[in-house]
Structure 1
C-alpha cells in the first residue's frame, strides 16, 4: 500500500525507449505488481534511438488529435500518421554524454566508436554512435519483452475514480472485406508511468513575421529535429538559431561547406561552447528578431532575417532552429499537467503528481545525464507505487515546487538538473530508500562528483577539437 493509502497492482508504462525500459525493469524488480504493461507507438523498442530517414515537419502548430470512438472495442478507419513520432536522429549522430555514466548501472555500453568521433575525439573515446545505443536498448528490453505492446498508441489516459482508463489504438487490422482498419480498445490500470520523453515536439520561438513567411516559403524553415545530413546544406546560406549543444553540433557539421558566413543566432552565451562559435566562417549574432521575404527572395525560395542588433541578412536558404523541445503529453486528458509555459505543474521532483502518485513520469528532466538519471527516477517511482518509498508529505512536496519555481522560473528550465546533479540524484536515492527483502531490487549508489567529469568529458574533447580547427584555419591565412 502506498503512502496515500492506495494499492497499485496494475501499472501501465507509456513508451518503450530508455526511460520506458528503466521503468519496466524497476517495476519488475519490486515483485509487487500483478500486471505491468508497456505501450509503444512505434513498431520497435528503443524510442528516439531509431533513425527515421523522413523527418518530422516544421512544428508551427501542434499535431491534431485523433478522434476517440464512442465505444470499445471497435475497428475504425486508419488514423493519419503521427509525424511527431519520427525521431530527431541524423546520419552521423554520436552520444554527447560519456558512455560510462550514460549507461544504466547494471549494463555498460560496448566499446565501439564511429569513424567521425575517432577523427575528432580520438580512439576509445566516450561517445557512442546511435546504432550502438539502439542495439543496446533492444538487447536490454528482451528480458521484459513480454510486457510490451508495439505499434500501440495511447490516445487517451483518463483517471476515473481510482482507475486510469487507457484508450489504445493499433493499426494493421482489417475488416472481412479487406479494408484497412485501426483496432481500438481500453484497459484499466491503478497507475500510469509516462515515459515518452520530451524530444517529440520542437519548440519554435515567437519571432516577428515567422508565421506569414513560413506560409510563403516553408522549405526555408527547419527544426533541428529534422536535421539529417550536411549534404542538404552545401553552398547554401544558413542561419542556425540556438546556443546549446545541438546548435554547436550542427554548426560543426556545416561551417566549412555552406555559402559563408554561417550565422549563429543566440539569445545567450554558453561559455562551454565558445570554441564552436569561433570556428572559421561562423559569425555569432544576437537573437533573431524578424524574418521576411521580398518578391525576389520568394521567387528564389529564400528569406531575409533581422537580428536584434539591427543587422539584416538577405537571400537566406535555410534557417535551422536548434531551440529545444516543448513538453508534450497530449494523451493525458483532462487535467493535463503541462503548462503554457512549457513545464509540468504539480509534479514533485519531476517524477510524481503531488497528492496522487498514480501518475508518474520518467525522463522529464533536462541536463540530467541520461540514461542513468532515468534509472534513479524509475527506481524511486517503483518504490513509491510499491508502498516502500520515503515520499515526503503533500505539504512538503508543494513547498518543494514553490521553491523550485522561485529558483528556476516558470519555464522548461524548471526541469533542468545541470549543474546540480548530486543533490538531485541523492534526493531520488533518499526517496527510493533501501530495497525490500521481498524484492529483487537494489540500493541506488550515492552520487560521486567524478561522474560529472566522466559524463561531460566528450564536451571537453570537442572543445579541444574546435580550437584545433580554428588554429589550423588561422595558420593558413
Structure 2
C-alpha cells in the first residue's frame, strides 16, 4: 500500500460513482482521476435504456421500470454544491425516474465532455499487485463494438457498483423449477404489467418494488393479486390499501403441474393456492463485487483470491468483507467501496463517504488505524451488534442486516462528516447534516406520510381524469 496514491479509478457511473469522481477530482491531490462506466450513459439504476434491434454490444439493464417514482425527497437526493432542481408537479414531491436521471446526467455532463468519464468501458477484473504496486484493471472497450481488452495499472480503485447485478432469490423449495420454466421472474427484470392481463399472479415481498408491482398488476391481472409477506411493512415503504391485492403468508414450497404450467403455492400457514400463472420475486439484492481479486491475507506466499470469498460469516454473508467503516479494504486501503451499505438517503451518505475517502487518501485526515487488525475492528463490532439485535427481537426476519445501515445511518454519516469538518471547517455550510436532533429526525420521518399523501393524490387524480374523459 502506498499513500497518497497518484492515480485513482472510479468504477460505475451511478449516483455513488459520479459523486465519488467529483469529490476525488475536486478535493483530492491526484495526478489522474477517471471514471469507467460499462453502459452507454450515466445514471446507474436511474438510467432506463431503450435498446434497439441494432444493439451489438452487451446490455446491463437497469432494474428500474417505466413510471417509477422515488420515495426520497429532493433535498436528500442532492449533492453538496449541487442541489436537486425544483420539480414540475407540486402535488408530487418525489422525483420521477426521468427527473432523477436528468439530474444525474446534468451533474456528469461536464466530466463526460472533458473525457474524464468514459462510457462503454467495462471493468471485468481488478487484481491486487504484490508489494504495494497498485491494482491491475482489465477493461473491455465497447465503443468499437468489439470489447477490446486492455490492462491498466492504477494506484487506487473505488468500486461504486455491485448491488443490482446480484438479485437475492429465496431458498424456497420448487422455485428453481419455476425459474427454469420462465414462470418466476425477479423484480430486476420487471418492465411493467403488460402481458399479465387476466393472469393469476403472486408477488413475493412488500418493500418498494413488491408494492409497486402488485399495484401495477391489480387493475389488469386476475384478482386477487397475491402478495406474500414475511414481516410487517417497514414504514419507509408506504402503499395504498387495495381490495384487489390480498396479503398472504410466506411460501413454504412451490409445485408445478407440467400439463398446464400452473403453479401451486403451499404457504407456511397451511393454506394452498392453486392455478397461479406467474411469480414475481421482489426480495432485494446483495452487494457482491465478484470481479475484485486480492492477495490472500492468510497466505504466507502471494496468492490471488476473490474478495467476496474472504472469511464468509453465516449471518452476514451479504456484505463486502473486510471493510473499515464500510469503505476501506482493511488489508490494502487503496481499494475502497462507496455504496456498500444500503441507506435511506444514499446520495447524501455516499457524498459524505467519498469526500471522507478523498481526504483519507490525500492524508488530510490522520485518523486511519495503523494495522489491518485495527481496521477490522469496525467489522467485528458491527457483526456483534447485528447478532445482538437479532437475538433481542421476536421477529427473526426483522430488517437487521450488516449491509443495511438502518438506525445507525445518522450516527455513521455524521461521524464521517465531523471528521471532515474538523479538518475543513469551510465546508460546514455545504455538507448535509445527520446530527440526531429531534427536529431533523422528525423532518426526515415526515417523508413517510408525505409519500402516502402523494400516492393518494395520484390515485384520486387518475380517477378524476378518467371520469372527466368519460
TM > 0.5 fold call: yes
CA deviation after TM superposition for structure 1 residue 143, in Å: 3.0
Partner of 2:414: 426
Q: 1:349 to 1:329 in 2, by over 3 A?
A: same
Q: 1:5 to 1:465 in 2, by over 3 A?
A: closer
CA deviation after TM superposition for structure 1 residue 431, in Å: 4.0
Which of 202, 209, 232 is the equivalent residue of 1:246?
209
CA deviation after TM superposition for structure 1 residue 342, in Å: 1.4
RMSD: 3.0
Cα distance in 1 for partners of 2:34, 2:159 equals: 12
TM-score under structure 2 length normalisation: 0.82
Kept after mapping to 1: 8 A contact 2:121/2:143 = no
CA deviation after TM superposition for structure 1 residue 271, in Å: 4.9
* 1:314 and 2:274 are equivalent in the alignment: yes
Structure 1 gap ranges (5+): 56-79, 174-179
Report the number of matched residues: 423
Cα distance in 2 for partners of 1:257, 1:457 equals: 32
Q: Deviations over 1:322-345 (max 9, x none)?
A: 100122212102443335621111
* 1:416 and 2:404 are equivalent in the alignment: yes
CA deviation after TM superposition for structure 1 residue 294, in Å: 1.3
CA deviation after TM superposition for structure 1 residue 156, in Å: 0.7
* 1:337 and 2:326 are equivalent in the alignment: no
SS of 1:126's partner is coil
Kept after mapping to 1: 8 A contact 2:238/2:448 = no
Partner of 2:448: 459
Higher RCO, 1 or 2 (CA under 8 Å, sep at least 6)?
1
CA deviation after TM superposition for structure 1 residue 227, in Å: 1.5
- Which range is displaced more, 306-315 or 326-335? 326-335
Kept after mapping to 2: 8 A contact 1:384/1:432 = no
SS of 2:266's partner is strand
1:24-423 to 2 correspondences below 5 Å: 24-53=21-50, 83=59, 85-113=60-88, 123-145=90-112, 146-161=115-130, 162=132, 163-173=134-144, 181-215=146-180, 217-218=181-182, 220-272=183-235, 276=239, 278-298=241-261, 302-334=262-294, 335-338=305-308, 341-393=317-369, 394=371, 395-409=373-387, 413-423=401-411
SS of 1:272's partner is coil
Kept after mapping to 1: 8 A contact 2:136/2:152 = yes
CA deviation after TM superposition for structure 1 residue 197, in Å: 4.8
SS of 1:292's partner is strand
CA deviation after TM superposition for structure 1 residue 451, in Å: 4.9
SS of 2:340's partner is coil
Q: 1:33 to 1:447 in 2, by over 3 A?
A: same
Kept after mapping to 2: 8 A contact 1:279/1:466 = no
Q: 1:295 to 1:125 in 2, by over 3 A?
A: closer
TM-score under structure 1 length normalisation: 0.81
Cα distance in 2 for partners of 1:47, 1:400 equals: 29
CA deviation after TM superposition for structure 1 residue 363, in Å: 1.2
Cα distance in 2 for partners of 1:454, 1:82 equals: 43
Kept after mapping to 2: 8 A contact 1:435/1:442 = no
Kept after mapping to 1: 8 A contact 2:63/2:164 = yes
CA deviation after TM superposition for structure 1 residue 49, in Å: 1.2
Cα distance in 1 for partners of 2:97, 2:456 equals: 25
Kept after mapping to 2: 8 A contact 1:91/1:228 = yes
Q: 1:16 to 1:451 in 2, by over 3 A?
A: farther
CA deviation after TM superposition for structure 1 residue 106, in Å: 1.8
Q: 1:451 to 1:436 in 2, by over 3 A?
A: closer
